[in-house]
Amino acid sequence: MPFYETEKAQQEIIAALERNSSVRAALIECPSGIATIDGMTNRVRAPLV
């Protein structure tokens, strides 16, 4: 079963980042090179973020 981030959860993340100007970027690369946990990319999982 794929894991989805709700729109509300994504909006909360966006709001937190907007309040904290010290955060410049958050990039995560899987060491194994596999970009999906459950067969779904983050672009599909949390498109707003």
Instruction: Please check whether residue 3 is in contact with residue 46, taking contact to mean a CB–CB distance below 8 angstroms.
Output: no
pTM of the model: 0.64
Tens of pLDDT, residues 13-35: 889 889 998 987 776 666 666 66
DSSP state string for the chain:
------HHHHHHHHHHHHH-TT--------TTS---SSS--HHHH-TT-
* Residue at 8: amino acid letter: K
Band the pLDDT of 44: cuts 50, 70, 90: confident
